[in-house]
Amino acid sequence: MVTRPIDGVIDNVQKYSESTIRERAQEVDRAGKFPEENFYHLADLGVLRIPFRRQNGGLDGNLQDILRVIRLVSQECASTASVLLTQISFGIAPIHDYGTEEQKNLYLADLLSGEQVGAFAMNELHSASRAEEMKTSAVETENGWELNGAKDYISLTGRATLYSVAAHVTRLNGEKDYGIFIVPADAVGVQEIEMKEKMGIRGLPVGDLRFEQVELGQEALLGGQTGGIQQIQAIRDYNKLFVAAQALGIALGVFQETLTYMQQDRRFGQRLIDLSENQNKMAIVYSEIYATKTLVESLSFYNPKDVRLNSLVKLKASNLAVDTAEMAIALTGGYGYMGDSSIERYVRDSKLTQIYGGGSQTQMKNLSAPWLDKKNNTENNKESN
């Protein structure tokens, strides 16, 4: 078996996660604080570089390499994993994949080292994640662009130094499209509104953004041209796979915590795990965890055109996280419900995986869309026959 240098990075992540990140997880959750020490140590290990090309400062890793890292970290601290997956899939990937050479040279090195923190501003309160209905606008001027609008519930608000902002675009010639703009957090006219306390994944800062007559140069347009809805959708779909890996990690983490408790706690002269009813419940969840793990590990590369597969993986994994966490509470009773139990934290954290990265209702809509097309449905039936 050939050992790659990147395997050493992943091994170090696993050791650090199982020791230091695990020890800090409760503190991060209680204080609702950004997991600064975890983030910068993981950045020093090279985690942020894993899925990107070496010529751009990355480590030439593949999709499975980075999804495994997200899963390993999520097993111990979902907040730390959320910060990582936001930085990688929303902060770095858009510039790495779509940026001009000038934009890559200007931003990638600092983003890959963690010196700069990046975020993606898409969601708006009235339109949720529907890009076609967003109101934020960028109007071309003689000197560049003027950005106006609002974004809501944006991960890493207040911590990010650089935002990729999706907007309706109006050219000088009147042509309209959609585009993404690279906006420094300290640009004049940018207002960051940090949110109040969240139920779960409390170490991930989330807030609102306001843009009022923000003046940007022509070079602020990602890739130097409008990318349309397809580019925005591809960025969001890539993020779904990271959230799926996080959800799988949460399920594995809470399952292990539950098993450990049930192997120790004794009632009616038996350990909880010795009761056949409990064994059956654990076996069912165990089979679902490893079915989902197999599904996630089958993703050898990211296909932005396979919207249904991206939605399927995210839906399956996020439902698994919530179901496993709820099973843990049912089997551990008062112990799992108490605030000093990591099980209680996993329960709260699991719910967000069904919400961010596109809610479960949106994923189900993506999965069912072809069934509503009579022509496609007829052709699919012919193929199956």
The count of residues in the chain is 385
**What are 98-128's pLDDT values in tens digits?**
999 999 999 999 999 999 999 999 999 887 6
Whole-number average pLDDT of the chain = 91
Residue 87's contacts (CB-CB under 8 Å, 6 or more residues apart) are 39, 48, 111, 114, 117, 118, 156
Cβ atoms of residues 311 and 358 within 8 Å: yes
Residue 143's pLDDT is: 93
Statement: residue 172 has pLDDT above 70: yes
Statement: residue 379 has pLDDT above 50: no
Looking at this protein, which amino acid is placed at residue 181? F
The stretch 296-300 carries a mean pLDDT of 90
Concatenating the DSSP letter of every residue in 203-245 gives TS-EEEEEEEEEEEEGGGBGGGS--HHHHHHHHHHHHHHHHHH
* pLDDT interval class at 377 (50, 70, 90): low
* 280 token code pair: 């059956």
Looking at this protein, which amino acid is placed at residue 260? T
Residue 242's pLDDT is: 97
Residue from 85, 149, 91 nearest 119 by CA: 91
The stretch 47-75 carries a mean pLDDT of 96
The three-state secondary structure class of 149 is strand
**What are 134-147's pLDDT values in tens digits?**
999 999 999 999 99
CA atoms within 13 A on the CB side of 299: 27
Residue 376's pLDDT is: 54
Statement: residue 58 has pLDDT above 90: yes
Residue 381's pLDDT is: 46
Only one residue has tokens 């923190």, namely 117
Looking at this protein, which amino acid is placed at residue 170? T
Statement: residue 378 has pLDDT above 90: no
Residue 310's pLDDT is: 87
The three-state secondary structure class of 87 is helix
- Rg of the chain over Cα atoms, rounded to whole angstroms, equals 22
**What are 174-198's pLDDT values in tens digits?**
999 999 999 999 999 999 998 878 9
Statement: residue 2 has pLDDT above 70: no
Residue from 356, 230, 346, 247 nearest 296 by CA: 247
Residue 374's pLDDT is: 59
Statement: residue 166 has pLDDT above 90: yes
* pLDDT interval class at 95 (50, 70, 90): very high
Beta partners for 166? 180
Separation of first and last alpha carbons in the chain: 43
Residue from 127, 140, 214 nearest 179 by CA: 140
Cβ atoms of residues 281 and 352 within 8 Å: no
Cβ atoms of residues 108 and 174 within 8 Å: no
Run of H or E residues at 12: helix 5-16
Residue 132's pLDDT is: 82
Residue 65's pLDDT is: 97
Residue from 2, 95, 7, 81 nearest 52 by CA: 95
Q: Provide the whole-model pTM.
A: 0.92
Burial code (b: 16+ CB inside 10 Å, e: under 16) for 141-156 equals eeebbbbbbbbbbbbb
Statement: residue 54 has pLDDT above 70: yes
> Percent of the chain scored above 70 by pLDDT?
95
Q: Which of 8-12, 165-169, 328-332 has the lowest mean pLDDT?
A: 328-332
Determine the Cα–Cα distance for residues 156 and 34; give it in Å rounded to an integer. 9
Residue 385's pLDDT is: 39
Cβ atoms of residues 55 and 177 within 8 Å: no
Concatenating the DSSP letter of every residue in 70-84 gives HHHHHTT-HHHHHHH
Task: Indicate the angle between helix axes 78-86 and 342-352, nearest 10 degrees.
Answer: 30
